[in-house]
Structures are given as C-alpha cells and as structure tokens.
Amino acid sequence: MRWKRFCATLGVGALVGTAQAASCGMFGLTVNTPFVLGAVEKKVGCSFTATRWFVDWKRPFPAYAALQFFKTPGRQLELSWQPRIRLGDEKYKGVTYRSIAGGNHDAYIRAFARSVRATGRTVSITFAPEMNGDWGEYQLSAKNTPKDFKRAWVHLHRIFREEKARVRWVWSPNIIYPTMKSSYRELYPGDAYVDEVGLDGYNWGTTNPWNRWKTFAQTFDQSYREVKKITGKPMQLGELSSVEKGGNKAAWIRDMCRLLPKYSRIRRVFWFHITDRNVDWRLTTSQGALDAFKDCVRKRS
C-alpha cells in the first residue's frame, strides 16, 4: 500500500521515467526509491533499462511499484533483498542465515515469491548484498557463517523454484578489503544456484581518515580476478560510485569508461545514485561528473 500511495502522489511518470529516451546501454542505476528515475534520466538524456532498489526483510515484494515500473518497455528490475528488519531511523536487526535455512521464514519467503510470479516478469534478486562485509547487521559473525549463508541461499532458490517465480539470482559481495573474514570461494553457493555474479565497490576518496583516492582499476582489479577464478557466470558491478572529495570525479568516470572494455565479463554497471550517511554518491554531484557520464554512455552504447 505504501508504494501505491507514493505512485498516486508522484504520478506514474515519476516512476516510469523517460520512456522515449535512448537506452543508457550497459549502465543501470541503483536507487533507494524508483521514483527518482524520471528526474535523473532527464539529466543524463537516456533511459536506465536496468534499475536496482532495496527491500528489507519482512517487507513484501513491492508489486504495485514493480508493475508501474514495467510499463516502460524493456525495463529490467533488480532487487537488493537485505535480511534485516527495520526497527527505526537507521536502526536494524539482522536476520540470521541459519534461521532462513532452517525454515523459520518460509511463509514470508513464499508470499514474496508468489508476488514476483504474479508480475509475469523476470526479476533479478541480489540476496544479502555485500555478505562478506563486517559493517552491517546481516554480515558474517560466529552465528552467521559462510556455510550458513550458502545454506540460506540454496533454501531460497528452492522455494522460488517451487513457487515458479521467474528470478535471476545475483551473488554480489563487496570488493576485497584487508579485514575480510571469508574468501569469495567460501561464500559462493555454486553455479547451480547463481545466474549472475557481481561486485560492489566505491572510491571513497578522502571522505574519511582510513581511505584514500583510488582509481577504477585500484578499486576493482583484484576482486574481479578472484571472482573469475571461481565461476564463469556473467558479471555486473552492482554498486559502483566515486565521490568528489580527494580527486577529480569526472576524470574517474572517464577512466572507468576507458577501462571497462578490458573487463570482458562485466555486462552491466549500476551507478549508486544515493546519498548515504552524509556521503553523496550521486551522478549529479557536479556538472563535470554528469557530463563525463553522458559522454561515457555515448561511447559504450
């Protein structure tokens, strides 16, 4: 009902976006609400065929918003399904992989799967994005092991198959970082249960004391090579962005554009168009960044 009220308030056009614009090619957009699409697409001058947004645990599949979204021909929806329950403003409780694998949430999962099936469309689902991290409510711990994660993934896959929901399963860890508690191989559910793999990675620049400016290659090279070692599945960059602080964001985007063809397994790139905890990752942080992205779309489309 919340999605339906938003659609009614903002109008279908805010959600459907620029239906007549040319496609942004391999580029998609990660947003915290689909209702920003129209405004962003007007600025970049193209239509983001593939779009990702987030759904927390115990929240129903946003069926009404999805159906409005699909009214634009060619739209592809990807959901980041996060096993965490919202308690209040920026407060969450994690849902353990063990409880998911053990069947404690089957009624919710089946209802979610049936809602996906009812759209009549294929939806990509990234379950527990950045599961290899150590900063979120559902990430690895003594009670949330890599083995538990894989069992939960397989359990979800089985239920959606039983419910005949059309889903592409996307496994998307964070890029490798120094204190990572598990290897990619230990967390990978197996090719039988995964349709696409991804990576989430950011250039934080100098927005905090423990980071420095990193190029596109410095951000993704090592992780890309490691993922290639464990699977031949097609790849995406599920969350990607750069800040302005500490370097030149426009130059970073131009460098990304120049290097992308060398990463031959990457079929899709989702720019993280969100301001998160006072860090502005959006495409529109400067005219220079926006112009660089628009030029990249022209070159890669």
User: Would you state the structure tokens that stand for residue 61, as one six-digit string?
Assistant: 């599949």
Tokens of 251: 């130059």
φ/ψ (deg, to 5) at 248: -125, 105
CA–CA separation, 301 vs 292, rounded Å?
14
Sequence-distant (6+) residues with CB within 8 A of 243 are 202, 203, 204, 205, 207, 249, 279, 280, 281, 285
Q: Which two tokens stand for residue 207?
A: 């927005």
Known catalytic residue at 90: no
**CB-based contact 68:19 (threshold 8 Å):** no
Q: Say which of 41, 78, 196, 239 is annotated catalytic.
A: 239
Any alpha helices (H) in 163-286, and if so which ranges?
184-187, 216-230, 249-259
Active site residue 239: yes
Query: What is the rounded CA–CA span in Å between residue 140 and residue 97?
Result: 9
The string of DSSP letters for 5-59 reads: HHHHHH-HHHHH--TTSPB-TTEEEE-SSGGGHHHHHHHHTSB-SEEEEEEETTP
Q: Where are the alpha helices (DSSP H) in 45-171?
A: 63-69, 97-101, 106-119, 146-162
Tokens of 219: 């951000």
Is residue 238 a contact partner of residue 52, using CB atoms and an 8 Å limit?
yes
| From 41, 78, 130, 196, the catalytic residue | 130
The residues assigned a catalytic role are 130, 239
